[in-house]
Structure 1
Amino acid sequence: MIMPRGSDQLLLPVNPFFIALTLLLAFAFMLLPFGRHPALPDLLAVVLVFWTVHQPRRVGVGLGFCFGLLLDVHQGALLGQHALAYSLLAYAAISAHRRLLWFGVVEQALQIAPLFFAAHLVSLLVGLAAGGMFPGWWMFLAPVIEALAWPLVTIALLAPQRRAPDPDENRPL
């Protein structure tokens, strides 16, 4: 079928090494010593949800759990706190991935924002149940920043798939 001129471009298959590289870079970003400000966005969660929505057969709950455990060990948090939050986040993203892909990136960000909020809330509740302190109301700003970053992350991570495989004047795709 020939696509009309105003429609979206067909995407090339994603390279599995690119998925791994972006997840590792997001994890490395989370390892940087920015301090413990509660309003800092969780870039690893955003990239994890992005790949879970766009590639649910390659990135899923197990990978979210593993990255969560690694982040728990690095931050000295209760073992399983981030692992539980990332696992639930990945599960919710897999559950909604077919519906999300029908919308534009702004609408996706609006639908993903409650998932980010729920992940932060789960992490907070686990920390409080283990005897931690409430980090302050600033922590509810992080899911908003993550939802605002969703369109930028989507554009950046889909860019390698948008290039033409073999550009030719006779083939516009």
Structure 2
Amino acid sequence: MTRLRGQGWLFFGSLVAAFLLQMMPLPQLLLPLKPYWVGIVLIYWAIELPERVGLGFAFLFGLAGDVLTGELLGEQALRLVVLAFIVLRFRARLRFFPMWQQALAVLALLLNDRIVTLMVRGFSGEAMPSSTFWIAPATGMLMWPLVFLLLDDLRLRLRGGE
């Protein structure tokens, strides 16, 4: 398998894994702790491979997520486009932040994602969520170093340890 093909498999495999983690059922008590896996993985790839992760890709990826999860069609698409836009806009800075600053930036991005979610759901007439709605971005911030280091290590191994 060529290096390019291996990296393609890692790219799409990580996105599929993120969808599977997002759809994984959890007990009701742990549900507020579930991070937005799809968003976290998209943030990683937008930082590392901006030529592959553009706004169009984020939109199509979000539509696929809407279809898979059964949410309001276009909700995840809008959320991921906003997320990708911000990451791509500030990519040059995010890329060279130390890990703790990247984690704080991911927290800010995931909090922004929650605000976009509230706006979309408010326009669709849904009720306001409970206060536990705001816990997941903190969990995403804590998971960021693990996701980043895992994907970065796999990517470097596929490149031949360069």
Aligned equivalent of 1:73, options 57, 67, 78: 67
How much does 1:147 deviate?
1.2
Question: What does residue 105 of structure 1 align with?
Answer: 99
Q: Which has the larger radius of gyration?
A: 1
Structure having the higher helix fraction is 2
Aligned equivalent of 1:29, options 6, 21, 44: 21
Distance 1:76 1:28 in 2: 14
Corresponding position: 1:155 with 2:142: no
Unaligned 5+ segments in structure 2 are none
Query: Is the contact between residue 46 and residue 53 of structure 2 (CA under 8 Å) also seen in structure 1?
Result: yes
Q: RMSD over aligned Cα, in angstroms?
A: 2.2
Query: Is the contact between residue 39 and residue 140 of structure 1 (CA under 8 Å) also seen in structure 2?
Result: no
Q: TM-score, normalised by structure 2?
A: 0.86
**Which aligned runs of 4 or more in structure 1 are off by greater than 6 angstroms?**
none
1:32-71 alignment, distance < 5 Å: 32-34=24-26, 37-71=31-65
Please identify, of 76-85 and 45-54, the stretch whose mean Cα deviation from structure 2 is larger. 76-85
Q: TM-score, normalised by structure 1?
A: 0.81
**CA deviation profile, 1:104-133 (whole Å, cap 9, x unmatched):** 211111122111111111012111211112
How much does 1:35 deviate?
6.6
Unaligned 5+ segments in structure 1 are 1-11, 167-172
Amino acid at match of 1:27: F
How much does 1:15 deviate?
1.2
Distance 2:75 2:160 in 1: 42
Distance 1:40 1:161 in 2: 25
Give 3-state SS (helix, strand or coil) of 2:141's partner: helix
Distance 2:75 2:62 in 1: 8
Give 3-state SS (helix, strand or coil) of 2:90's partner: helix
Query: Is the contact between residue 46 and residue 54 of structure 2 (CA under 8 Å) also seen in structure 1?
Result: yes
